[in-house]
Amino acid sequence: MNQGVISSLLLLPIYSKLVSTQRATSTLTPPKPPDSEFIGFPSVTVRNLVKMPEKHIPPKIESFEDLEVHLRGSLNPNKTLALLLDYDGTLAPIADHPDKTIMSIAIETIVNKLAKNPNIFLAIISGRALDDIKNKIGINGITYAGNHGLEIESADNSRHDYVLSEEILENYNRLVKDLQENAVKNNAWVEDKRISLSFHYRAVPVNMKEAIKQEAKRIIEKHGYTANAAHEALEAKPPVVWNKGEASVFLLKQQFGEDWPKKVNVVFVGDDTTDEDAMKKLQGVGKSFRISSDPEIKTFADFRLTSQDLVGDLLSWISNTYENEE
């Protein structure tokens, strides 16, 4: 038997497991492994063979005037806009506790206005559980993606759930129990979202934070979940190829068809590492904005908003752009 045949036989069980796991666990269509680095649309894939998405230090935007300078002419108001927005740290400032976050009156007003614009498709894509984010926003007739896109409710109320395997769900229950028993102390706590969780350590005394965070990270990874850094929290996500990026592309395809990049302007706004998955997918086909005060931050986004309150300015600028054309 030659070397190539032996290598193929050795790899076969691994590949079979990957395929069967994905088939058995998803009602949403996960990407084929070889395409996972691409946008997911043939013409865009070809374009990205030349230039793969990469992180960079993007231009900063710190005022309404900067928006004018950087964005003038970049959104064609004759084309529908797909506006994809994160919530925590984006539409609402981070608070001591997730229950306390609230949108400013200005942002709430402009989001409601954008939701009513017939030329705008609005989707909120959050790490929160679906019902939680729906309650926080409180607007009917828009699309919501909760749990980092694992559960989606479209504007027509249809549901799209990524079905996790029994094994992953059992691991999740073990993970919650393990964290509760071994890492929930000194004011740290677990936000249990049924299929993913957030481990919050904001209220832990400063000198204990790092140790508790590291212990939680170790436990999360021990149960096969991934631990993404968030604001004073760890996001524990199931080991599946489905994230805010996959969810964004799914929504765009569902709403506009396979050739969505030709049909719509896409704007994505987020503040966290989990948002980078969407920014990566949209690099070169949409405009993404990463909110961060860190001038050195590397991101897949096209621009950095230097503070959360600039989101109101950005949404106003978008609203004006779409109104002026009517």
- Applying CB under 5 A, the residues found at the interface with Mg ion are 86, 88-89, 271-272
* Least distance (Å) between residue 94 CB and Mg ion: 8
* Least distance (Å) between residue 89 CB and Mg ion: 4
Rounded distance between C-alpha atoms, residue 260 and residue 75, angstroms:
15
CA 245 vs CA 214, 248, 280: distances in Å:
27, 5, 7
Could you give the strand order of the β-sheet that contains 189-192, starting from the edge strand earlier in sequence?
189-192, 197-200, 233-237, 226-230
* Least distance (Å) between residue 161 CB and Mg ion: 22
* Least distance (Å) between residue 58 CB and Mg ion: 18
* Least distance (Å) between residue 263 CB and Mg ion: 27
Rounded distance between C-alpha atoms, residue 78 and residue 93, angstroms:
32
Which residue's Cβ lies closest to Mg ion? 89
Tokens of 224: 């096969």
Phi/psi of residue 294, nearest 5 degrees: -85, 110
Which residues face 151 on adjacent strands? 146, 161
Rounded distance between C-alpha atoms, residue 236 and residue 229, angstroms:
9
Q: Within 10 Å of residue 142's Cβ, how many Cβ atoms?
A: 22
